[in-house]
Structure 1
Amino acid sequence: MTFVSRHISISINKTAKQVYDFVSDPANLPQWAAGLSASIKKVGQDWIAESPMGTVKVKFAEKNDFGILDHNVTLPSGETVYNPMRAFPNDNGCEVVFTLYKLPGVTEEQYTQDGKLVEIDLVQLKHLMEEKQ
């Protein structure tokens, strides 16, 4: 079985490496990902975020040269949600792509709203990155 999925993307006028370096640092999440993190702190080896869903644990893929920004979010229920995400070159800039899965129990309305929140987060990321010199 597969989940319904939607790829949400944005072009950013910064290199893929610049975007990757910023996004892969969990400490930066509150600056661009309000849908996931209002605040975040490192507790031992874990990154703990205060989110609209409650207190969650966020774990990004190991550092890599391929722009893979996949991350797991462990919800207050203990359920872990896998979030595929990439930053890859597009001429002198880059594309950032987030794959949103429609998980069991999520209504069409919730899925649509989740997609809108991801779009807002990616627009915020674009603005932040393009404002940086």
Structure 2
Amino acid sequence: MTTESRHLSVHIDRPVGEVYDFVSDPANLPRWAPGLGTSVVQEGGHWFVETSQGRVQVTFAPQNELGVLDHVVVTPSGETVYVPLRAIADGDGCEVVFTLRRAPGMTDAELERDASLVNGDLSLLKSILER
């Protein structure tokens, strides 16, 4: 089965290392991705986010020098969602690329809604980091 993907990106006028450090810290998620959740806690080495659907666990890729910010979200129902995310050097700045994947059974309208939410989060991330 082939899954449809859409790559959404934003250019941020900050060095890639600064962007990576900010985004890779799960404690910052509510600041730049409020659609995911409003509060983050760390318990027993795991990060949890309170969402409108309940508590989810978020696990980022191990720290790396390649800008890989992929993370796995485990929903309250136990579903595991893989989220590809990258910070890529672009001159003195950085491009952040989020890969949005169409979930099984997702309608076109739901995909467009999710794309709009992700674009909003990326715009917020840009505005925070370029202050």
TM-score, normalised with respect to structure 2: 0.97
Equivalent residue number for residue 6 of structure 1: 6
Residue 109 of structure 2 is aligned to residue 109 of structure 1: yes
Matches within 5 A, 1:30-109: 30-109=30-109
What is the alpha-carbon root mean square deviation over aligned residues?
A: 0.8
- Following the alignment from structure 1 to structure 2, what is the Cα–Cα distance between the partners of residues 119 and 7? 10
Instruction: Determine helix, strand or coil for the equivalent of 2:130.
Output: helix
Q: CA deviation at 1:83?
A: 0.3
Deviations 1:6-52 (A, max 9, x none): 00000000011100000000000010001212110001111010123
Q: CA deviation at 1:71?
A: 0.3
The answer to whether the Cα contact below 8 Å between 1:35 and 1:52 also exists between their aligned partners in 2 is no
Question: How many correspondences in the alignment?
Answer: 131
- Following the alignment from structure 1 to structure 2, what is the Cα–Cα distance between the partners of residues 117 and 25? 20
- Following the alignment from structure 2 to structure 1, what is the Cα–Cα distance between the partners of residues 98 and 83? 7
The answer to whether the Cα contact below 8 Å between 1:68 and 1:86 also exists between their aligned partners in 2 is yes
The aligned amino acid for 1:102 is R
The aligned amino acid for 1:111 is L
The aligned amino acid for 1:87 is A
TM-score, normalised with respect to structure 1: 0.96
Q: CA deviation at 1:108?
A: 1.3
Percent of pairs identical after alignment?
Answer: 51
Residue 113 of structure 2 is aligned to residue 123 of structure 1: no
Equivalent residue number for residue 22 of structure 1: 22
